[in-house]
Chains A and B, each alone.
Chain A
Amino acid sequence: SQELEQSPQSLIVQEGKNLTINCTSSKTLYGLYWYKQKYGEGLIFLMMLQKGGEEKSHEKITAKLDEKKQQSSLHITASQPSHAGIYLCGADRRYTGNQFYFGTGTSLTVIP
């Protein structure tokens, strides 16, 4: 089973609308990373969350890590076509199993 589940799997929104992507872990998260992948390209780091309750923002993108540290949400305000791509959450297990692994991904399409 997938240790990191993202929802929704895909999202189509009108430009200007707000949206939220969720990432749920079956285990406690000690480091949660958000990446964006444009179609056919590599991954771009967005932000990292480490503490329960932590919230970070970058331009119109805000990410939170919940108090119990098993879920994170990524919120985009006033979406633009440039936000389109695949959003991936990643969990850091390098302190235990030497792995850094990713969620299932959310494909975002923004219609102008």
Chain B
Amino acid sequence: NAGVMQNPRHLVRRRGQEARLRCSPMKGHSHVYWYRQLPEEGLKFMVYLQKENIIDESGMPKERFSAEFPKEGPSILRIQQVVRGDSAAYFCASSPRTGSNTGELFFGEGSRLTVL
């Protein structure tokens, strides 16, 4: 059973370009979380999605950042007009949680964005 797959693992962009990060959850998981980890800092929640729905985007910057989880295909975190401060590791996690059940999150290896 494949784990959470993120790609690309490393991405280099120049200021003003767009970055697209993809996340394929574990098979059978319909809940996806995105986190950002800045150097020397902890893991910051960005957005929580279910298929075709954004459930909680309270951690997402209001501008330039967007996320989606379509019915088919991976979840996408999109950063438009990147700036140097966007350089970070972006982690995706998935869970099978439905209803009131809870369980641990399963993490991908992360996508490391470097903005030149």
Contacts and interface: CB of A to CB of B under 8 A. Distances in A.
For chain B, give the interface size range: 20 to 34
Interface string B17-58: 000000000000000010100000011110010000001101
Nearest to B45: A101
Nearest to B100: A95
B100 to A, nearest CB: 6
Contacts of A43: 43, 91, 93, 105, 107
A39 to B, nearest CB: 11
A101 B48 CA distance: 11
A66 interface: no
Interface of A: 31, 33, 35, 41-45, 48, 88, 90, 92, 94-95, 97-105
18 contacts: A41-B110, A42-B91, A42-B108, A42-B109, A42-B110, A43-B105, A43-B107, A44-B107, A45-B106, A88-B43, A94-B97, A95-B102, A99-B45, A99-B48, A101-B45, A102-B43, A105-B42, A105-B43
Interface of B: 4, 33, 35, 42-45, 48, 55-56, 58-59, 91, 93, 95, 97, 100, 102-110
Given A43-B93, A90-B105, A102-B42, 16 more contacts: A31-B102, A33-B105, A35-B107, A41-B109, A41-B110, A42-B4, A43-B107, A45-B106, A92-B102, A97-B58, A100-B93, A100-B95, A101-B45, A102-B35, A102-B45, A105-B42
